[in-house]
Chains A and B, each alone.
Chain A
Amino acid sequence: SQTIHQWPATLVQPVGSPLSLECTVEGTSNPNLYWYRQAAGRGLQLLFYSVGIGQISSEVPQNLSASRPQDRQFILSSKKLLLSDSGFYLCAWSAPRTRFDRNPEAFFGQGTRLTVV
């Protein structure tokens, strides 16, 4: 069965410090991978998504970047954190797409609560 791991669960970082959040998926190949941010317990904002190694699409211009160095690894980074980067970050995966794919749902990790102080 497929599993998704996201860490750390909680992180407190000072303003101006770097950030690295990691997400890995097991039990599947070539998944689509996503990073979402949820601020103040509200909606999910799509930050980045990837359909393959080295293929990253950015949805929102911001202080963050993403990388996919391996097929099932997705990393969210920042060189210098801002107070506004605080929030709840969720990684997700979905099955690779085919024309007749009928398993389109995304599965989420446990999330990382980031507090920038």
Chain B
Amino acid sequence: AQTVTQSQPEMSVQEAETVTLSCTYDTSESDYYLFWYKQPPSRQMILVIRQEAYKQQNATENRFSVNFQKAAKSFSLKISDSQLGDAAMYFCAYRSVLTQGGSEKLVFGKGTKLTVNP
């Protein structure tokens, strides 16, 4: 079974600075999706960014970018020019590409709480 590990329970960053959140995963599959979700204090889960494993190019969305290292099974999230509104729990998630065999599961890590200091 696939597992997702976020080794940093909490992180903090100064406003306007850059922070990187770590995520590693374990899978025997070669094609899959990876996601970062954000959960602000409202507790609404918001998709931040996604990465297809078959793409070598790292995904970017404005100030958010990932460092996808497939061989190392690592998927870190970099937030540039951090803003107060970035303060939230961040979850890394994995989903298989396969269309059968329980592949519909979206597996989450335990999350990293990000604090942004003014």
Chain A positions within 8 Å of B, measured between CB atoms, are 32, 34, 36, 38, 41-44, 46, 49, 51, 57, 59, 88, 90, 92, 94, 97-99, 102, 104-108, 110-111
- Is B50's CB under 8 angstroms from A105's CB? yes
Interface hits, B20-73 → A, CB 8 Å: 33, 35, 43-45, 47, 50, 52
Closest 7 CB pairs of A and B: A43-B110, A108-B45, A44-B108, A104-B33, A97-B99, A32-B104, A106-B106
- Is A94's CB under 8 angstroms from B104's CB? yes
Which chain B positions have C-beta within 8 A of A92?
A: 45, 106
B91 contacts chain A at the CB level, 8 A cutoff: yes
A and B contact pairs by CB, cutoff 8 A, 25 listed: A32-B104, A36-B108, A42-B111, A44-B108, A44-B111, A46-B106, A49-B105, A57-B104, A90-B45, A92-B106, A94-B104, A99-B99, A104-B33, A104-B50, A104-B95, A104-B97, A105-B33, A105-B35, A106-B47, A106-B106, A107-B47, A108-B44, A108-B45, A110-B43, A111-B44
**B46 — nearest CB in chain A belongs to which residue?**
A108
Chain B positions within 8 Å of A, measured between CB atoms, are 33, 35, 43-45, 47, 50, 52, 89, 91, 95, 97, 99, 102-111
Nearest CB of B to A60, in Å: 12
Compute how far the CA of A63 lies from the CA of B97 in the bound complex, rounded to whole angstroms.
Answer: 31
Q: A49-B104, A88-B43, A105-B47 are in contact. List 20 more A-B contacts (CB 8 A).
A: A32-B104, A34-B106, A41-B89, A42-B111, A43-B111, A44-B108, A46-B105, A51-B104, A90-B45, A94-B104, A97-B104, A98-B99, A104-B50, A104-B97, A105-B50, A106-B95, A107-B47, A108-B45, A110-B43, A110-B44
